[in-house]
Amino acid sequence: MTTEATLPNTSASPTARQLWGHARGVVIAFVILLTAAIVIAVIRSGGEHGRLDPRSADPNGSRAIEQLLDDNGVSTRVVTTLDEATAAAAPDTTLLIAVPDLLTESQQRRLRTATATSGGRTVL
Residue 111 counted as domain residue:
yes
- 1 three-state secondary structure: coil
Structural domain for 97, as ranges:
79-123
End-to-end CA distance of the chain: 105
Longest pairwise C-alpha distance within the chain: 114
Query: What's the domain count of the chain?
Result: 2
**Residue 95 and residue 84: Cα distance in Å, rounded?**
11
Per-residue pLDDT of the chain (124 residues; tens, 9 = 90+): 556 656 555 566 778 888 888 888 888 999 999 999 988 887 776 555 667 777 777 777 777 888 888 888 888 888 888 899 888 888 888 888 878 888 899 998 898 888 888 888 777 7
Residue 89 counted as domain residue:
yes
Residue 37 counted as domain residue:
yes
The pTM of the full predicted model, rounded to 2 decimals, is: 0.51
Residue 32 counted as domain residue:
yes
